[in-house]
Amino acid sequence: MATLPQVPAPSSSPDPGARPPGPNGPDGPARARRGRRLAAMLAASAVLGGATGAAVVAAIDSPSDSLRSATTVVEPGGSAGGTTAAAALDARTLYRAAAAGVVDLSVKTTSTSSGGTGPFGQPPSSQSTATGTGFVADAKGRIITAAHVVADAQSITVRFQDGTTRRAKLLGKDDATDVAVVQVDPTGLTLHPLKLGSSAALQVGDALAIIGDPFQFDRSISTGIVSGLDRTISAPNGFTVAHAIQTDAALNPGNSGGPVLAADGSVVGVVDQIATSGSAEQSSGVGFAVPIDLVSHELGSLAAGRTVSHPYLGISTGDASGTTTGALIGSVVSGGPAARAGVKAGDIVTAIGTTRVTGSSDLVGALAGHVPGDKVQLTLRRGGETLHVTVTLGTQPVSTGTTSG
C-alpha cells in the first residue's frame, strides 16, 4: 500500500514552509511536520502553518484548448452545473460513464543509500514501486495525474479498465501546482477521455464523486460534497497551491491524481491530499483537490514539455493577530522582489491592488492571478502607518530552499 508523506496543515500561526511530499509507495516514509513555524516563502501561495499537535496534510498516492477540444469526451446524461445536495448525484450512472476514463499508474523509482558501498564501490540503491491514479484527457493518449505520483519516476506503467497496460512517458510536471501530464501510445486502444469542466462555479454543498485506486482497489468510487473552497495546500516544491477544493468524500492512499467529478460527470479537480491526525494515513473526511481551472491553465505547456512559471514575492507570511487583519510578513528574502520594494518583516499586507487581504490565504489567491513581471501594489500596515508599495513580481524558485536571483 502506498505511504502518505506528511506535510503541515493550515493554521493562523506563521509557518516557515511546508516541505514537499516525500517518497510514495510501500517504501516511502511518512515525513510529519509538527509545531509552530513561520510560513514558507510566497510564490503564488501562502504557506500552511503547523498547529501544535494538530492535523497534518498528507499526499495520497500509492486552459489548454488542445486538450479540451482534441477529442470527443464521455459524460453521463443529466443537467450540467453544480448541485446543492449529494443526493442529486447519480453515482451509478456517473460511474458507468466515467470509470473507463480512469487509469491506474504504477511508478518505479530508484533511491540511492547514503551508507555503505556496492560491490564495485558505488553507493547501494534500491527500487520501489508507488501507485496512483490518473485520467485520460484526450484521444492522443495524454493522461493527467498528480506530480508527486510520478516524482523521480524511472518508469511509468498505465493500466486501463480492460486490463491493457502501456508504458507511459512523462511529458511535463509542475511541482508548484502538483500537476503532471504523461502519455501512452494510443495505437490500438479505445480511449475514453473525460470532459474537463470548470471549478469556478462550484459552491459549498455541491455534490462530488471520486474514482480512483484507494489501497490498490482499482476504480473505486466515493461520493461527498464540496466542504470548502479557496483552501491553500502544500505543493511538492514547498510552496502552496491556491484555491484548493475541500471535500468530505473518502480519499485514501492510491487516490492521488484521480478525477474529482461533478454531478454532470465533468472533471472539476485532481485529487491531491488529505488531512490526518499525524498518525493514521487514511480518509479523515477532510480531503483536498487541485481545482481543474488551475490545471487547465497550464496543460498546454505541460503537454509540450515547457516549464510553467509562477509569480514570486520573496516573503514568508502568517495570519496577523490582534485588531489588524491581514497577512503578517515573517521574513523577507534578501534581494527578492519584496525586499527591493522596501517591504520589511513585521509589515502586515492588507490589500493587493484593490483586493482586500485578511490573511495569508487571501494573499495566495490574489497572487495566483498574476504572472512573473507583473507590477502589483501592496497596501501595508507598519506600526500605525499605512503604506503603499509597488512590487515587480519575480519567478518562483524551484523550491523554498532556493533563494531568488
pLDDT for 158-193, tens place per residue?
999 999 999 999 999 999 999 999 999 999 999 999
If one counts every other C-beta atom within 10 angstroms of the C-beta of residue 175, the result is 21
Calculate mean pLDDT across residues 116-123: 58
Spatial separation of the C-alpha atoms in residues 365 and 198, rounded to whole Å: 17
Asked whether 330 and 316 are in contact (CB, 8 A), the reply is yes
Asked whether 147 and 178 are in contact (CB, 8 A), the reply is yes
Share of the chain above pLDDT 90, in %: 59
- 118/331: higher pLDDT: 331
Average pLDDT taken over every residue of the chain: 79
This prediction has a pTM of 0.76
Asked whether 394 and 372 are in contact (CB, 8 A), the reply is yes
So what's the pLDDT on residue 72? 37
Distances (CA, A) of 166 to 23, 106, 132, 160, 191: 23, 11, 15, 9, 12
So what's the pLDDT on residue 398? 84
| Confidence check: pLDDT of 231 > 60 | yes
Look-up of cell digits 512573473: 372
Spatial separation of the C-alpha atoms in residues 211 and 159, rounded to whole Å: 15
| Confidence check: pLDDT of 271 > 50 | yes
So what's the pLDDT on residue 137? 96
So what's the pLDDT on residue 324? 81
Run of H or E including 367:
helix 360-368
Confidence at 20, pLDDT banded by 50, 70, 90:
very low
- 275/189: higher pLDDT: 189
Confidence at 281, pLDDT banded by 50, 70, 90:
low
Least confident of 106-115, 322-331, 347-356: 106-115
So what's the pLDDT on residue 23? 32
Is 311-395 a CATH 2.30.42.10 domain?
A: yes
Compute, in degrees rounded to 10, the torsion defined by CA atoms 289, 292, 295, 297.
-150
So what's the pLDDT on residue 68? 43
So what's the pLDDT on residue 127? 82
Spatial separation of the C-alpha atoms in residues 301 and 36, rounded to whole Å: 37
Q: Which residues are catalytic?
A: 148, 178, 256
If one counts every other C-beta atom within 10 angstroms of the C-beta of residue 116, the result is 7
So what's the pLDDT on residue 15? 32
- 45/106: higher pLDDT: 106
- Would strands 348-352 and 102-112 be described as parallel, antiparallel, or unpaired? unpaired
- CATH architecture of the domain with range 54-110+123-304: Beta Barrel (2.40)
So what's the pLDDT on residue 30? 29
Where does the chain hold its CATH 2.40.10.120 domain(s)? 54-110+123-304
- 274/158: higher pLDDT: 158
| Confidence check: pLDDT of 378 > 60 | yes
Look-up of cell digits 516549464: 307
So what's the pLDDT on residue 14? 31
Q: How many helices (H) and strands (E) does the chain have?
A: 5, 22
Confidence at 140, pLDDT banded by 50, 70, 90:
very high
So what's the pLDDT on residue 61? 54
* Model confidence pLDDT, tens digit, residues 41-91: 333 322 222 222 334 455 555 534 445 433 334 444 443 344 444 458 999
